[in-house]
Structure 1
Amino acid sequence: MGKMAKALGLGVKGSLSVHLDRLSLAGDLLHGTVVLSVTEPLDFTSLVLRICGKELLTWTEGGGQAAAVYLREHLHLDEEIVLSAEPQSCQPGEYVFPIYFQLADTLPNSFHISGRDAGVMCRIDASLSYSATAVMTVKGKFSADMEAKKQFVVQQPPIGQPVRSLENSTSTEIHMLRLMKKGTCNISAQLPSNVHVAGDVLLAQTRVQNDTSKDMKRLSIMLHEDVTVDLGTSNQKSEGTMCV
């Protein structure tokens, strides 16, 4: 009845909120609090916290009337913590329940990408999100159960490998009308580090040696993203590259 009362907006006697660190490293101890704010006296039978890490993948194959949309889900984390197993009576006020949960060191990073293509897979939307949901079962036919959800981010710890610079160069012969050789142009580019995180500004040092009789009009840099989708079988793996 508590769920029905909640859906109808009846018997609401307070609210729940979940407070967590915004960023957690895989292998860390996740800690935070569940705060119960009571506006009217209430009795509840249990309070649990459901911790979930869900990977969701959708994509389209084909076009027009033959287009088909596919969906895959995978749970990397699905645990439930009992914060209060005994029936309790609460008077108006605020009650705090601590959260302590050990994250596995094998948990993959949170991510979200969309609008990608890979092989026959189009409009790929893929995400891995983590959440903690507090659920309280309230006594009484016309008392509404309470629920609160909080998203959090998981990242793998830094790899610890030495950072090194990246450098590459290319050389091209310039021709006029594909017949007359006009000389050679050499271009090299260097990045100070091979490790970057989202939000970083990439600073590239470039060097141009133009041994031709033609002027260079512009120099541009493009960042390419490699996308690989592995659906778990050898014949269900698609790859693609796009300029971002």
Structure 2
Amino acid sequence: MGNHLTAQVRLEHEVYYPGNVVRGEATIKVDKPLKCIAARIMCRGFERAVVVNHSNEMIYNVFEDTVFYKETLTLFGHTTKDPDASPVEIPPGVYTYPFAFQLPMHLPESLHTANWTSGGAEVKYQVIAYAKLDKDLVDEGHHDFQVVVPINKRDIVASPPVDATATVKLTKFFMDKGACDFTVSLPRSIYAADDTIEGEIVIDNTNGRIAVKNPNVSLRATCESHVTERQSCVPGGIRAVSVAKPLATQHVPLSVKPGFTNNLQFKIKLPHTVPHPSYPARGCHITQVHHVIVGLEGRQVQLPIHIAHCADEENRFAYCPIEDVAHKPDFRDVEHAYTEPTGYAASPCEVLKPPASLRPQHTPTAKTPQAVGNGQLHADH
């Protein structure tokens, strides 16, 4: 950084759950006396929805950024809403500020997905230490972290079953050979990494005059991004759906003769780490879902399901309802006067204090177990 100031942020962990406390330390080094409007530490979560707009033979990206979570600790200088921009002078030195931020219980999972032809989405979290040197110039250091969202085991078990039916028009050498119905059903609609999706395919070929064979089963994630009318200048806004590569595919060995009905069970073993979890289902302008897709004789049925990063056997997390289309992440935008967390020692700039108009931060207290490693829950966690 220029202006003889450097800022650095260190965190105790790289992965967190909703309800965790993000702890760390910000270091601000000033080489010589420097004037600034304020210095702050900010924890934030933001979402970017991207749509590739195809309009009038032009192709261009349209995006919308939404900050849904922001908590600011002002170290010294003016508050974020203070119109006064008169500077304060920071003397040379190295100043350390331990911090702690309480994450809300309802947050979307960290996400990055992109498709060159349709668009994509990103959900990102970071802690930023910065000095606002003037109205347009900021020097900062930041540390990104990941949020993963477990689901309670009881909410998985309580999720409703899902099924779908399709009719296949049968032909052979362009001749009509009747029709066949097939139904796909799953006992529940929410799963977690390491689960096994168990389903059933029922093929009713009583009205068919040829055999039907070998349905195929696949699982893939989709993400719908929405850029509003205000941001896109397009009436009603614009939407795009990006489709990920299949997470699993399999061919089911089954043949049903004309005039008969048959059924078959199938299983899809989910990996230990799911690349694009679809729980929670919604951000601010994005919607995620997985589909179990069953194809038979050129016809498909798609069953929407949701897959979480991991499951908690002790049911300690807030449930993000799949069926509630109005459910959004917890919105928070607050500012506090900096105070050192209990049990930590700060080395602040003694001649500069937080604004007297701000209230101190309440002591953050973890509401959920601290995430470790890649965020998977274990029996002893």
- More divergent stretch after superposition (185-194 vs 46-55): 46-55
- More divergent stretch after superposition (226-235 vs 69-78): 226-235
Across the aligned residues of Structure 1 and Structure 2, the Cα RMSD in angstroms comes to 4.7
Distance (Å, rounded) in 2 between the aligned partners of 1:51 and 1:111: 17
Asked whether 1:166 is paired with 2:166, we answer: no
- Letter in structure 1 aligned against 2:2: K
1:33 to 12, 24, 29: 24
Q: Residues 29 and 100 of structure 1 are in contact (CA less than 8 Å); yes or no, is this contact kept in structure 2?
A: no
- Which aligned pairs between 1:72-151 and structure 2 lie closer than 5 A? 72-82=64-74, 97=98, 99-105=99-105, 107-115=107-115, 122-135=117-130, 147-151=141-145
- Which aligned pairs between 1:1-244 and structure 2 lie closer than 5 A? 3-5=2-4, 16-20=9-13, 22-25=15-18, 28-34=19-25, 48-62=40-54, 66-82=58-74, 97=98, 99-105=99-105, 107-115=107-115, 122-135=117-130, 147-153=141-147, 155=149, 160=155, 162-172=158-168, 174-177=170-173, 179-181=175-177, 184-197=179-192, 202-211=197-206, 212-223=208-219, 225=222, 227=224, 229-231=226-228, 235-238=236-239, 240=241
Per-residue deviation, residues 108-129 of structure 1 (Å, max 9, x unmatched): 443332117xxxxx53132121
Unaligned 5+ residue runs, structure 1? 7-11, 117-121, 138-144
Q: Residues 18 and 148 of structure 1 are in contact (CA less than 8 Å); yes or no, is this contact kept in structure 2?
A: no
Identical pairs, percent: 13
Distance (Å, rounded) in 2 between the aligned partners of 1:21 and 1:167: 39
Q: Secondary structure at the match of 1:3?
A: coil
Per-residue deviation, residues 136-195 of structure 1 (Å, max 9, x unmatched): 89xxxxxxx8834132316486594822322333344534455554x5534232223201
Q: Residues 110 and 153 of structure 1 are in contact (CA less than 8 Å); yes or no, is this contact kept in structure 2?
A: yes
- Letter in structure 2 aligned against 1:3: G
Q: Which structure carries more strand by proportion? A: 1
Alpha-carbon offset, residue 131 of structure 1: 0.8
- Letter in structure 2 aligned against 1:113: T
**How many equivalent residue pairs?**
216
Q: Secondary structure at the match of 1:169?
A: strand
- Letter in structure 1 aligned against 2:49: L
**Bigger Rg, which one:** 1
Q: Residues 226 and 238 of structure 2 are in contact (CA less than 8 Å); yes or no, is this contact kept in structure 1?
A: yes
In structure 2, relative to structure 1, the CA distance for the partners of 1:243 and 1:223 (3 Å cut) is: farther
Alpha-carbon offset, residue 219 of structure 1: 1.1
Q: Secondary structure at the match of 1:229?
A: strand
Distance (Å, rounded) in 2 between the aligned partners of 1:173 and 1:146: 63
